[in-house]
Amino acid sequence: MTASIAGALLLIGRKLLTAFIQLLVIATLIFSVMYIMPGDPVLLLLGADSNPSAEAVASMRTQLGLDQPVISQYFIWLWKALHLDFGVSLVNGYPISRYVLANLPRTLELAFAAIIIATLIGVPLGIAAALKRGSLRDTALTSIATVGISVPVYILGTLLVLLFSLKLGWLPASGYTDISRNVAEHFRKLALPAFALGFGLAASIARMTRSSMLEILGRDFVRTLRAKGMSERRIIWQHVLRNAAIPIVTIIGLQLGNLMGGTVLVEAMFNWPGLSTLLVGAVSARNYPLVQGSMLAIAALFILINLVVELLYSLLDPRIRRKRA
Amino acid sequence: MLEVRNLSIAFKTRDGLRPSVRNIDFTIKPGEILGLVGESGSGKTITSLAVMGLLPPNAVITSGEVLVDGTDMLQLGPAELRKLRGKHVAMVFQDPMASLDPIFTCGDQIIETIRLHEPVSKAQARQRAIDLLEKVRIPDPARAMRAYPHELSGGQCQRIMIAMAIACKPRIIIADEPTTALDVTVQKQVLELLRSLNEEVGAAILLITHDLGVIYEVADRVVVMYAGDKMEEASTRDLFTNPKSDYARALVDSMPTPGSHHDRLPVIERDALGNVRGVRPQPRVRSADAVPAPDANGAPLLEIKNLTKSYWVKPSPLATPVEMRAVDGVSLSIALRSTLGLVGESGCGKSTLSRAIMRLSRPDAGEILFRGRDIAQLSETEMRPFRREIAMVFQNPYGSLNPRQTVQELVEAPMVIFREGTAAGRRKRVTDLLEAVGLPSAAAAKYPHEFSGGQRQRIAIARALALNPSLVICDEAVSALDVSVQAQVLNLLKDLQVEFDLTYLFISHDLSVVEHISDAVAVMQKGRIVEYGSTHSIFNNPKEAYTRSLLDAVPTIGSERAGKGAA
């Protein structure tokens, strides 16, 4: 027993280390991109139109640490980033970390709401289709799923707003209300963006659930369970679904990249003040430290969710748990 | 207690119903072991699934009754059937590893079975599960309770399956090929276990198998099926000494058995009227002047000296890797135009050895002398000329042929790789090869799925011969085939050996097959050759205890047949 616990800890430790290295590589890329990009943040900060004096420029450079060699700039930046210090906003001097910490939970919430919605829609539909393979119901569900995968988020979002806010008036079209101020309003405003973001994923999950269920239903052990006298319902819920869950979790993990990409559009469309909104705003204002900080936060979030998915795998499949450790 | 009356089953196809089982009758009495024997496609498994009410959706029962203690299973609704399954009639399947749910522990799966049918607490069920595991003689039952199926061996998984089957003290156990996936020594243990449980628990057993040896060891009575028809029902002794139907006689004859020496095995043929009979084909002969003179110096074609190949494995997640010697100082030699049989149980290193000889992996130490030249450490380029000299035939005829290539493309592939001949020349060569392995030239345009298992193995053999190799490694080449098809392929291999001057390394777990085909035999255990000598000396006078235990484990019908031969 201790050996398996030690094995599990070792597995988690190894995954954390990998995640850290991934983050380090991304941080380096982000730093390089910002360094290579044209435009001088100092001039921007002082206002290029006001023709700042050479001294003013030089002192600003020193203040921002831009007079140092690139390598030391990089390490200073990295060291500070490790302590969650991404510098201050060039626009108003607020610490970047405060912006990031304020917006990160909102993106996280949006992403998780989307995953939950997608799972709640996708898994039951997939099961329904698999149990009546080849029937009208199966064909209909599979076709809807195909459409769902192909519809771009911005079209679906627009349709949702048209239907649910403008026509029916059930839900607000956009915006954000903090949960501490009005719980009901918070979730009403979360509903449409989360649904728009999760719909494509729901379709992928439904298809994966269907094919995974069909594959598992054909396995020998299902016949054993029937021969044991177990009811079909219990076979499905207790055994088949748990086995089928492994590829379903995989597809959720793989689709996360799309999901994070989707947040850029969804946040902009529904005016959701998350990380992507922060990033887009920072890019247009050339607020370099903010761009770096929010990009790093998005990357970290992506890696974190992937880490959770991988650990979930091991929890679901004893074969991976013992083999990989 | 189990009575199958006039049972007919058909499959729904686009052309209407295609019968698969016709008017089968049999009964099992309490405490009896009834063997149901037949080759693939004979309908034996379908019959057993019908008894359990587990037929696939495209199968329909067209007539008959399945009476379990007087109740017709075929008339019961799903809920009533479920109550009988597992409780009254239990089943043990062929592939034990795949028949257990991979993500639940073995203990949980047994507990689940008990609690499905009996209102006991989880703790009580757990205790009973441990008792059951002791009863099926699993080493360390506590560990087996915690283990997942993939952490146990095939034999242990089958014990778990048997424990599950007897958990609710069923009256009837249906065992469908329960030992086919297991090694001989493990098979022997499992059969002994079934036999003793049958006496102890008193359950009747319906034992389904294609292996006559297994039937001979444990069954009281036998039903022989062929192509959906019952050919014969007899007591086991009568079947083997005095089979009444032609098919049963042919089937008994086509088994290679220790002690019987014939050049060719009888094969089962069906004449124009649909009657089956056993025919012993004549060996193909070559005119005397075409036979090459024996090598003057008598040098072996292949000589292996002290060959070693290790894998590094971690015994537990935190341990440092330890060396696992898959092949440990093996020395062997194979004379030109002879056959060396290599026997051993799964995991003994047979396949690693054959891969090393093929140079699909690089051995750690030792020499592989092929016609006197050491190929053990040659580079890929230096190895190339030797590649055409050594060919291989694999076990699974379904997996080793690319389903998207025609037979023409499959068989000519080695020639294409070695840029040999023109397209027309290769076509001619493929036709010749197909003829040599007994397939019509029209086969060239077809795809592998259009052939049976035995025919596919013929295609694989034709491909192996494409470049005129001198050494052919047959890795369990007949293990996946039915007895009568196995006999045909073994005859073919012998014919081809004469015709193409082939030397065989014949790897198999089946001792009777090895005895039939080999001139010399090497017995392998845990990476080492424990015994090596002429076939006659190994089988008649084994020196090592391990060889003896292997020979003892082979279900033998030799004594009965010897008696028959003398009469």
**pLDDT per residue as tens digits for the range A123-167:** 988 888 888 877 788 888 888 888 877 788 788 888 888 888 777
Q: Could A3 and B318 be called an inter-chain contact, meaning their C-beta atoms sit closer than 8 Å?
A: yes
Lowest mean pLDDT among A19-23, B175-179, B266-270, B450-454: B266-270
Location of structure tokens 């829609």: A121
Mean pLDDT score, B466-472 = 92
Nearest by CB to A227, which of B52, B98, B150? B52
Mean pLDDT score, A230-249 = 89
Please give the pLDDT value at position B277. Answer: 66
* Full DSSP string of B294-351: PPSS---SEEEEEEEEEEEE-SSTTSPPEEEEEEEEEEEEE-TT-EEEEE--TTSSHH
Please give the pLDDT value at position B36. Answer: 92
The alpha helices in B448-520, defined as continuous H runs, are 453-465, 483-500, 511-517
Please give the pLDDT value at position B305. Answer: 92
Q: In this structure, is residue A92 part of a structural domain?
A: no
Please give the pLDDT value at position B566. Answer: 35
Q: In this structure, is residue A228 part of a structural domain?
A: yes
Put simply, the chain A residues between 196 and 225 with a CB less than 8 A from any chain B CB are: 219-221, 223-225
Please give the pLDDT value at position B153. Answer: 82
Nearest by CB to A229, which of B85, B93, B318? B85
Residues of CATH 3.40.50.300 domain(s) within chain B?
A: 2-88+170-244
A257 in the same domain as A145: yes
Q: Is the pLDDT of residue B307 over 60?
A: yes
**Can you read off the two tokens belonging to residue B330?**
């093996």
Side-chain-side CA neighbours of residue A95 (13 Å): 10
- Pick from A36, A51, A82: which residue ends a domain? A82
A257 in the same domain as A299: yes
Confidence at B506, pLDDT banded by 50, 70, 90 = very high
**B156 or B260: whose pLDDT is higher?**
B156
Q: Are B274 and B300 in contact (CB under 8 A)?
A: no
Confidence at A307, pLDDT banded by 50, 70, 90 = confident
Confidence at A324, pLDDT banded by 50, 70, 90 = very low
Instruction: Taking the CA atoms of A30, A32, A36 and A38 in sequence, report the sign of the dihedral they define.
Output: positive
Interface probe with B: pick from A12, A212, A224, A238, most Cβ of B within 10 Å? A224
Q: Could B86 and A224 be called an inter-chain contact, meaning their C-beta atoms sit closer than 8 Å?
A: no
**How far apart, in whole angstroms, are the C-alpha atoms of residue B474 and residue A211?**
37
Lowest mean pLDDT among A51-60, A101-110, A245-254, B461-470: A51-60
**How far apart, in whole angstroms, are the C-alpha atoms of residue A26 and residue A85?**
17
Does ipTM top 0.90? no
**A253 or B157: whose pLDDT is higher?**
B157
Mean pLDDT score, A292-313 = 82
Q: In this structure, is residue A89 part of a structural domain?
A: no
Q: Is the pLDDT of residue B287 over 60?
A: no
Q: In this structure, is residue A139 part of a structural domain?
A: yes
A101 in the same domain as A49: no
Q: Could A6 and B318 be called an inter-chain contact, meaning their C-beta atoms sit closer than 8 Å?
A: yes
Q: If you count residue pairs, one on A and one on B, with CB atoms under 8 Å apart, how many are there? A: 85
Q: In this structure, is residue A87 part of a structural domain?
A: no
In sequence order, the 6+-apart residues with CB closer than 8 A to the CB of A9 are none
- Pick from A26, A50, A82: which residue ends a domain? A82
Using a CB–CB cutoff of 8 Å, tell me whether A319 touches chain B: yes
Q: In this structure, is residue A182 part of a structural domain?
A: yes
Q: In this structure, is residue A272 part of a structural domain?
A: yes
Confidence at B201, pLDDT banded by 50, 70, 90 = confident
Confidence at A4, pLDDT banded by 50, 70, 90 = low
Q: What is the CA radius of gyration of chain B?
A: 25
Using a CB–CB cutoff of 8 Å, tell me whether A88 touches chain B: no
Which residues of chain B does A219 touch, with a Cβ-Cβ cutoff of 8 Å? 98
A245 in the same domain as A114: yes
Burial class (CB in 10 A: 0-12, 13-18, 19+), B388: middle
Task: List C-alpha distances in Å: A79 to A72, A76, B359.
Answer: 10, 5, 52
A298 in the same domain as A217: yes
For residue A150, what is the domain's CATH number? 1.10.3720.10
Q: With the CA atoms of B553, B554, B560 and B565 taken in that order, what torsion angle do they form, in degrees rounded to the nearest 10?
A: -140
Confidence at A325, pLDDT banded by 50, 70, 90 = very low
Please give the pLDDT value at position B296. Answer: 47
A206 in the same domain as A320: yes
Q: CA triplet B379, B381, B386: central angle to 5 degrees?
A: 90
Least Cα separation, residue A243 to chain B (angstroms) = 7
Q: Is the pLDDT of residue B373 over 50?
A: yes
**How far apart, in whole angstroms, are the C-alpha atoms of residue A269 and residue A216?**
40
Please give the pLDDT value at position A320. Answer: 64
Domain of A178, in residue numbers: 97-324
A104 in the same domain as A76: no
Using a CB–CB cutoff of 8 Å, tell me whether B103 touches chain A: yes
Least Cα separation, residue A13 to chain B (angstroms) = 13
Q: Could B103 and A242 be called an inter-chain contact, meaning their C-beta atoms sit closer than 8 Å?
A: yes
Please give the pLDDT value at position B412. Answer: 92
The total number of residues written for chain A in this structure: 325
In sequence order, the 6+-apart residues with CB closer than 8 A to the CB of A248 are A123, A126, A205, A208, A209, A212
Average confidence score pLDDT of chain A: 81
B101 to chain A: nearest residue by CA?
Answer: A221
Lowest mean pLDDT among A197-211, A282-296, B221-235: A282-296
For B385-444, what is each residue's pLDDT tens digit? 899 899 999 888 778 888 899 999 999 999 999 988 889 999 999 999 998 888 888 888
Q: Are B133 and B163 in contact (CB under 8 A)?
A: yes
Q: Could A223 and B93 be called an inter-chain contact, meaning their C-beta atoms sit closer than 8 Å?
A: yes
H or E element, residue B13? strand B2-13
Please give the pLDDT value at position A92. Answer: 77
Q: Is the pLDDT of residue B505 over 90?
A: yes
Please give the pLDDT value at position A169. Answer: 74
Percent of chain B with pLDDT over 90: 25
**How far apart, in whole angstroms, are the C-alpha atoms of residue B504 and residue A219?**
37
**How far apart, in whole angstroms, are the C-alpha atoms of residue B345 and residue B64?**
43
Q: In this structure, is residue A136 part of a structural domain?
A: yes
The hierarchical CATH code for the domain B2-88+170-244 is: 3.40.50.300
Please give the pLDDT value at position A33. Answer: 79
Interface probe with B: pick from A1, A212, A228, most Cβ of B within 10 Å? A228
For B525-562, what is each residue's pLDDT tens digit? 988 999 999 988 988 889 999 998 888 887 766 444 43
Interface probe with A: pick from B101, B105, B180, most Cβ of A within 10 Å? B101
Please give the pLDDT value at position A48. Answer: 59
A315 in the same domain as A259: yes
Side-chain-side CA neighbours of residue B356 (13 Å): 33
For B48-96, what is each residue's pLDDT tens digit? 888 888 888 888 889 998 988 888 888 888 888 888 888 889 999 888 8
Please give the pLDDT value at position B317. Answer: 54
For B350-366, what is each residue's pLDDT tens digit? 888 988 998 988 899 99
Q: CA triplet A250, A256, A259: central angle to 5 degrees?
A: 145
Helices (H) and strands (E) in chain A, counts: 14, 0
**Can you read off the two tokens belonging to residue A120?**
């709640």
Domain count for chain A? 2
